[in-house]
Amino acid sequence: MKTSAALLVYLLGLLIPIVLAYENLALNKPTWQQYPFGTNWGADKAVDGRFTNLSAWGGQCVISAGDKSTGEWRVDLEAIRSVHHIFIQFVTENKPWDENNYSTDRFLGFSVYISNTTNKEDGVLCFRDTNYTRATIPNPVNITCPYNGRNVIYYNNRTHSPYPSGYSNYAYSDLCEVEVYGCPTPGIYGESCSIQCPQNCQEGRCHILNGTCLGCVSGYIGQICDKTCDDQMYGVNCSQKCGACVDNGACHHINGSCLKGCDKGYHGQKCDQECSEGFHGYNCEEKCSLTCEIPGRCDRIIGRCNGSCLAGWKGSMCNQECDDNKFGQGCAEACGNCANDEQCHHINGTCLNGCKLGYQGQQCKQEVELLYITNPDGNKCAAFYGVLVPFIFIVFCNIGCAIRLIRTRDVCNHRNQRKKTDASVPNATYDHVEINSRAEENSGYQDLGNSDYHELGNSDYHELGNSDYRELGNSDYRELGNSDNRELGNSDYLGLENSGYLELGEMSKPAVYEKLK
């Protein structure tokens, strides 16, 4: 039986909504007054819940000290409460409340505040009397003041004389009772304190009468805080502007976070911080190029280097190597003659796979003084071969000639004469080829050229003419004389030296030369 009764009570409890009404939030709460008259008339008398004896001697009223220009009293509700109205009972000495009553002149000009601090100026003024007279001032008074707050303050002053007629000369706070009515817990409103404040009201607080929020939580706006912040705004009152979210996107309406990251040049949760030096791009994730003029120093948005690039690099971010056969500072220098027309090293211009035939040096800019002969099929080949082959023949012929000369002294001279008249042999051109060789100046070649060779030419030409030399003379050789000669003129003999020509010269010369001598 007991359990079913309990269950019934429980079910009834569910069915009957808990109805609260405004209650006196000030009852027995801490109080204070500016000028106490004595311990028997303390400030607390106004919140003791008693006001049946309205005489100063009845022990239920606050009495303040006399001859003061201000009188102030307050009650602390101990929390911010949603107040509806304030009831005040003045001292009457238990006499009828009329214009002759002893006390009426003391209350004229009074004010009431609700404040979150003990300073009335921080709060809202609920009421200030500017119009009552001794005849019209009510007692008790009932002031509607639907605000949320913690301290309810009664105040009066006699500071600015002359005072309106009927006013006392001093200010008092003789209050028999002050009752502050409102809802007992935050977050509810309505006459019966039974309706939940809207969800997004700031601190859950709302207007005690109509439920209008007294402010919204971060990210919401509207009278009942049912709307999120508009585009690009966030926070309390939607008053803060979003940072630089990527794609100009909206930030999180509450905390301002850019959920998809930051636009170029910004970082941080809210994308409100500019990239630190050395970084750029979305979320400042990219590092400035180390090949900027000042390495690692660039524009924080697109990464453009501040200034120019280090040698060998180009592009606004200085991240492209020089190309198009250019290298160096500003990619302004031209590569030399690299093998296969390859791009040289973009910084120092070095040809990484060697030089084109005829060039030398790190950058292949020095021309090798190389003798060219153009073959019938159009290919150039080093004159080294073109010279060497006939030269060998000439050497051998010369030896032969020398032998014959020993036998018949006249033969060679005779032939020589005959040869001199032979116009088909461009003797001069051949000379030219050799003379253009710088080697003439500092090697044995000159000797050879000026002496042996001529002698060779003068003597054994005939034999040469019948062999490879003729071919040379008739085709390639002529071409050499007519076309490539210029090239030969300023080419680099060094190549020949390196390739063994010198060796040939030095090895064969003494023997041949000696013999020739």
Ligand X SMILES: *[C@@H]1O[C@H](CO)[C@@H](O)[C@H](O)[C@H]1NC(C)=O
Stretch that binds ligand X, among 23-31, 80-88, 441-449, 463-471 (CB under 6 A): 80-88
Query: Is 85 a binder of ligand X (CB under 6 A)?
Result: yes
171 or 394: CB nearest ligand X: 171
| Residue nearest to ligand X as judged by C-beta position | 102
CB of 140 to ligand X, least distance (A): 6
Task: Kindly report whether the peptide bond that precedes residue 140 is cis, defined as omega within 30 degrees of 0.
Answer: yes
459 binds ligand X (CB under 6 A): no
| Residue 127 makes contact with ligand X by CB under 6 A | no
Residues 346-385 that bind ligand X (CB under 6 A): 348, 350, 362
Calpha distance 474→459 (Å, rounded): 19
Binding to ligand X in span 182-211, by CB under 6 A: 203, 205, 207, 209-210
Strand partners for 274: 266
The count of C-alpha atoms lying within 13 angstroms of the C-alpha of 423, restricted to the half-sphere facing its C-beta, is: 0
Residue 116 makes contact with ligand X by CB under 6 A: yes
Residues 299-328 that bind ligand X (CB under 6 A): 306
Token pair listed for 367: 């021309």
The residues, ordered by sequence, that sit 6+ positions from 196 with a Cβ below 8 Å of its Cβ are: 187, 188
Q: Contact with ligand X (CB under 6 A): which of 28, 40, 100, 483?
A: 100
Please tell me whether residue 336 binds ligand X under the rule CB under 6 A: no
Q: Which two tokens stand for residue 80?
A: 């911010």
Strand partners, 320: 314
Q: b/e for 138-160, b at 16 or more Cβ within 10 A?
A: ebbbeeebbbbbbbbbbbbbbee
Token reading at 254 = 């509450």
Q: How far is it, in rounded angstroms, from Cα 516 to Cα 447?
A: 11
The span of 71-79, 116-124, 226-234, 411-419 binding ligand X (CB under 6 A) equals: 116-124
Asked if residues 398 and 512 have their Cβ atoms less than 8 Å apart, the reply is yes
- In the bound state with ligand X, the residue whose beta carbon lies nearer, of 65 and 402, is 65
Strand-pair partners of 177:
89
- Strand pairing class (227-228; 273-274): unpaired
Compute the distance between CA of residue 341 and CA of residue 313 in angstroms, rounded to an integer: 20
In this chain, which of 3, 9, 12, 96 binds ligand X, going by CB under 6 A?
96
- 76 closest CA partner among 10, 147, 152, 18: 152
318, with CB counted inside 10 A (0-12, 13-18, 19+), is buried
Residue 157 vs 273, nearer CB to ligand X: 157
Residue 329 touches ligand X, criterion: CB under 6 A: no
Cβ neighbours of residue 446 closer than 8 Å, sequence gap 6 or more: 439, 440
Interface with ligand X includes 169 (CB under 6 A)?
A: no
119 binds ligand X (CB under 6 A): no
230 binds ligand X (CB under 6 A): no
Q: How near is the Cβ of 157 to ligand X at its closest, in Å?
A: 4
Q: Does 483 bind ligand X (CB under 6 A)?
A: no
Report the site for ligand X in 132-161 (rule: CB under 6 A).
136, 142, 144, 147-149, 157-160
120 near ligand X, rule: CB under 6 A:
no
CA-CA distance, 476 to 280, in Å (whole number)?
64
Candidate residues 20, 65, 124, 357; the one interacting with ligand X per rule CB under 6 A: 124
Tell which positions 266-295 bind ligand X, by CB under 6 A.
269
**Tokens representing 64?**
């303040």
Chain residues binding ligand X by CB under 6 A are 53, 55, 57-58, 80, 85, 87, 93-96, 98, 100-102, 109, 114-116, 123-124, 131, 136, 142, 144, 147-149, 157-160, 163, 167, 203, 205, 207, 209-210, 212, 214-215, 223, 236-237, 239, 252, 255, 257, 269, 297, 306, 345, 348, 350, 362
